Structure 1
Amino acid sequence: MITPYTLRLLAYAVVIVGLIKIIIARLQSPLAKLPGPKYTSFTSLVLKYKELTHGRRVYVHDLHQKYGPVVRLSPNEVSYATVDAAKEIYLSGGSGYDKTPFYTLFTQFGTRTLFSTLPRADHSYMKRYLADRYANTNIMKPEVLNGISNHAKDFLNKCMEKCSSPDGFADVYVHLHCFALDGVTHHLFHPYGTHANVNDKDLRLMQELSYHDSLASNYIIYYVPALTKLVAYLSPPKLSPLSNEYVLKTSAAKDPSAHSLLSKLQSHAKATPSMPPYGVPAECKDHLAAGVDTTGDTLCFLMYQLSLPTPASTRVQSLLHQELVQNPTVPFDQLPYLDAVVKEGLRCFPPIPMSLPRFVPDGGSTIEGYWVPGGTIVSCQAWTLHKDPNVFPQPLEFIPERWLDEDKEAVTERNRWSFAFSVGGRGCLGRHLAIAEMKTLLREVYSQCRTTLSPHMTGDMQMEDQIIATRPKDQTCKLVFEKIGQTWALQ
């Protein structure tokens, strides 16, 4: 007869044997040979903790600093920090490896969008009917650029108004996100776009999109779907009634401008009976959400950098001002110093600095000399690629001149390593729009003004990770705008 004591011993033995088998399997895994902390062979808990506490980006970067360009992050995940690895993961075979289920977090109205579609073949089909709206030839049309320019003027007028108030400063975190909202809705929905720097209702829409923190909740739901209801009760998901109402209503509007994304989506929906019921508003909501925080946050970090009370920042502002006032009619894409400032801003403050995970295809792949089996999660992150000292000397310094280096081979190599918008067919579709917005805004401001930090600026501007983007930790950046003449002596 088996006693209760014997049953307990058998249960313990089964658990111990199971653990031993898991340990042996992990030690025999091909990933066990990769550089990285020993514990990453056995558990992903440390990585998950870093993700839940806004620390993944820095954690991964620090591991690369210690272990080199290839780092094991967990029993089934590897990070790379070389341009060749990025080429393999994101470009090979046409559009690179397939996305992981992580991107399911970015579905809208229960519908997969271009960004959240996982297989590359499906993505390629969807991209074909959207890509022309984001092509540089479309972005450079007067009807697009004039809209962006008008919103840049609204931004500067609002900031000057705030600086003339008793407070004497403008919180550009707010007004840059308004500008980004207005820019993206002009592109998506014209003539039904927002004017958040002049309209309080549109301002509230921006605040709904930009001031919520659902990182921990989203990660818990992603890793433990069974806890979805509990998480929703303890930490309700991001609610966006204003933006949902705006997108649903506007997506059904008649006669959008020919250059708009909505025009193309509506035409495609009419010609494609199999398109999901919420296909048009889901795609619009996804582009709307993607276009606000990325551009707004990058511009906020960049203007803060330019406004620091240091000789280096003063010098950059002065050189930028001189180029802009000396070339008032030259198109923004033909101004080399403005281009260098934007490129350096994207290097130091990339819109998506985090890892972009992909699945190694069946059969496995050899990446940076290490074979990894199919199904392994692999990724690169811009934050680390942009800080390789062999490509970017003094990588922690803001030096626009590195993009104007007389050594053309060095500049070409830096461009190869630029990962601000990812690379390949699944790279950021809106990169040309984002660059046009950034250059137009900077031109509007620094052709007329000098910006400095307000004495009231006590907020923390450290980068705080969200899901894949990042933002200033305290979500405030108080600057003083001072109108200046046509010349500004180099200080």
Structure 2
Amino acid sequence: MTDITFTKGLVAFFVSLIFYPITLAIYNLYFHPLSSLPGPILWRAFQFPYLSSLLSGRLPYAIQSLHSQYGPVVRVAPNELSFIDPDAWKDIYSRKEFRRPPQWGSRPPGTEVHNLISAPVAEHTRFRRALAPAFSSQAVKAQEPLITSYVDTLIQKLRMKVEGQSNETVVDFVSWINFTTFDIISDLGWGTSFRGLEHQEYHPWITVILQFKAILIGSSIGYYPLLNALVPYVTPKSALAGLNLVFGMARENVQARLKMQTERPDVMSFMEKGDLTEEEIVSNSTVLIVAGSETLTTALVGTMHHLLENSDKLERLVKEVRGVFENEKDIDGQTTTKMTYLTAVLQEGMRLCPPIPDNLHREVPAPGAIIAGIWLPGGTAVGVPCYSMFRSDENFERAGEFIPERWLEGEGFVGDKKDVFHPFGVGPSGCMGQPLAWVEMRMILARLLWNFDFKIPEGRKLGRWTDQDILWAWDKVPLNVGICLAARRKLEMLH
């Protein structure tokens, strides 16, 4: 009798395994509150197609294609919608109660305190209150000498590469910009840099922290509660060792900086005055260092990639940079704000290569809300994918082309919906570091073009930017550029 009961139970178990997906698909397609909204049938029925595309590094490209097919709102998973309707920016990101879904705001294993990404509303507000003054225009102006010192080092190291060379020197633009942005933000955040420019190699901390696919795997597992409960028990020792390196070094640097008796106007000087514990400073400073480096690297590398593809745009920008300044020392955070074409080039670079190309996930709070004219129940995941929004033909004329002139008055493109362009996000969770980012981007690009000529290396082809995977951030391949001293710099060297 026991054997018969066991057999029946086993049969019932396997039958349930067969019919559960079918039942789930029927519910998601016909009875789910989002069932009336458009999207591909498999994506509406199951979470797996979305996650498969995410982990393959092709999700933003796939979602752009879906928007082209289905319109401004697409159901990209059973409980998730993607919007490229301009109203979605305000409807989603202007409200504090719209927080990241649990899968996208979790803390790493073994981490007890929150940070700007994972924090609930009250703690997030407290963190921003403590950190925002560090990125005010006044604070950034005081930080500019430190920024300038690293840009000086970048120029000096590149000069050493090219001086005395009869032909162009080939360098990986990605690495050099990454060394620069990480050195700047780590010094501002921790009072010490990674010394990437000095050693011309990545610090182990950076190598670990840029493993974005591991983060995506963790977020994907978060969609399945039973699997997620097992994460602490199945996380490889190597992954835990990486986390220990990241937070151990962050803690050591924070403690060393807090012990300094200094008046440096860095980010830490504001964090230590805020209402933050030491562990909260460690966690938030780690987030700021990643956000303040990798995103700027994407913006500058993407911009240079498209300048190399469009030599007429590069020539126009070079003429502006070298025409405005007679002396390199005059290139600073203030003077570069007046360079309209430089700003337009960077805007267009971030439009085609947004620093955060993926969906900026948020969850509709209970009892529900209206997004772009559609009422949605609480718990629905929503977001604006910058890559799709900025490349939509509904929002920009000739959307797939690199045309900095669209950002200049009197150059046409009056039909462009420039109010949809928010590469740093908007609202209570928008990037606080925009003033710092703009100073760095303008200074670095202007100084590079004042000193050097850039071109596609002889005998090589430039790959397509969109051949790169997107694993939350762009999984950037090396951008090998030919570089030599600008004509005016060669004359100075002769004299």
TM-score by length of 1: 0.85
Distance 1:440 1:291 in 2: 15
Instruction: Give the C-alpha shift of residue 117 in structure 1.
Output: 2.9
Structure 1 alignment gaps of length 5 or more: none
C-alpha offsets along residues 37-71 of structure 1, whole Å, 9 cap, x if unaligned? 12233201100101111111111111111101100
Q: Judge conservation of contact 2:130–2:273 (CA < 8 Å) in 1.
A: no
Which residue number in structure 1 is paired with residue 396 of structure 2? 392
Q: Judge conservation of contact 1:108–1:286 (CA < 8 Å) in 2.
A: no
The answer to whether structure 1 residue 214 and structure 2 residue 214 are counterparts is yes
Partner SS, residue 318 of structure 1: helix
Instruction: Give the C-alpha shift of residue 217 in structure 1.
Output: 3.9
The answer to whether structure 1 residue 429 and structure 2 residue 435 are counterparts is no
Q: Judge conservation of contact 1:80–1:380 (CA < 8 Å) in 2.
A: yes
Distance 1:432 1:409 in 2: 27
Change (3 A) 1:98 1:408: farther
Which residue number in structure 1 is paired with residue 493 of structure 2? none
Partner SS, residue 478 of structure 1: strand
Q: Judge conservation of contact 1:152–1:441 (CA < 8 Å) in 2.
A: yes
Which residue number in structure 1 is paired with residue 99 of structure 2? 98
The answer to whether structure 1 residue 351 and structure 2 residue 359 are counterparts is no
Distance 1:19 1:222 in 2: 19
Instruction: Give the C-alpha shift of residue 131 in structure 1.
Output: 0.5
Which residue number in structure 1 is paired with residue 446 of structure 2? 443
Distance 2:459 2:103 in 1: 40
User: For residue 248 of structure 1, what is the amino acid of its counterpart?
Assistant: R
Change (3 A) 1:388 1:468: same
Which residue number in structure 2 is paired with residue 455 of structure 1? 458
Change (3 A) 1:391 1:7: closer
User: For residue 180 of structure 2, what is the amino acid of its counterpart?
Assistant: F
Change (3 A) 1:201 1:304: closer
Change (3 A) 1:181 1:23: closer
User: For residue 197 of structure 1, what is the amino acid of its counterpart?
Assistant: L
Which residue number in structure 2 is paired with residue 298 of structure 1? 299
Change (3 A) 1:422 1:359: same
C-alpha offsets along residues 142-174 of structure 1, whole Å, 9 cap, x if unaligned? xx1121122112112222222348782222211
The answer to whether structure 1 residue 249 and structure 2 residue 241 are counterparts is no
Q: Judge conservation of contact 1:151–1:195 (CA < 8 Å) in 2.
A: no
User: For residue 172 of structure 2, what is the amino acid of its counterpart?
Assistant: D
Q: Judge conservation of contact 1:386–1:392 (CA < 8 Å) in 2.
A: yes
Which residue number in structure 1 is paired with residue 40 of structure 2? 37
The answer to whether structure 1 residue 82 and structure 2 residue 85 are counterparts is yes
Change (3 A) 1:368 1:210: closer
Q: Judge conservation of contact 1:459–1:475 (CA < 8 Å) in 2.
A: no
Q: Judge conservation of contact 1:134–1:430 (CA < 8 Å) in 2.
A: yes
Which residue number in structure 2 is paired with residue 263 of structure 1? 269
Which residue number in structure 2 is paired with residue 55 of structure 1? 58
Distance 1:200 1:450 in 2: 21
Q: Judge conservation of contact 2:55–2:471 (CA < 8 Å) in 1.
A: no
Change (3 A) 1:381 1:256: farther
Change (3 A) 1:413 1:434: same
Distance 1:235 1:88 in 2: 42
Distance 2:489 2:278 in 1: 54
Which residue number in structure 2 is paired with residue 378 of structure 1? 382
Distance 1:156 1:406 in 2: 35
Q: Judge conservation of contact 2:405–2:411 (CA < 8 Å) in 1.
A: no
Q: Judge conservation of contact 1:99–1:118 (CA < 8 Å) in 2.
A: no
Matches within 5 A, 1:58-69: 58-69=61-72
User: For residue 336 of structure 2, what is the amino acid of its counterpart?
Assistant: F
User: For residue 263 of structure 1, what is the amino acid of its counterpart?
Assistant: S
The answer to whether structure 1 residue 150 and structure 2 residue 141 are counterparts is no
Distance 1:12 1:388 in 2: 46
Change (3 A) 1:70 1:258: same
C-alpha offsets along residues 317-354 of structure 1, whole Å, 9 cap, x if unaligned? 43443454369466222221111111111111111111
Distance 1:428 1:175 in 2: 24
Over the aligned positions, Cα root-mean-square deviation in angstroms equals 3.4
User: For residue 31 of structure 1, what is the amino acid of its counterpart?
Assistant: L
Aligned residues: 474
Which residue number in structure 1 is paired with residue 126 of structure 2? 125
Instruction: Give the C-alpha shift of residue 449 in structure 1.
Output: 2.2
Matches within 5 A, 1:164-175: 164=163, 168-175=169-176
Change (3 A) 1:163 1:99: same
Task: Give the alignment partner of residue 339 of structure 1, picking from 340, 343, 346.
Answer: 343
Distance 2:323 2:97 in 1: 40
TM-score by length of 2: 0.84
Aligned residues: percent identity? 21
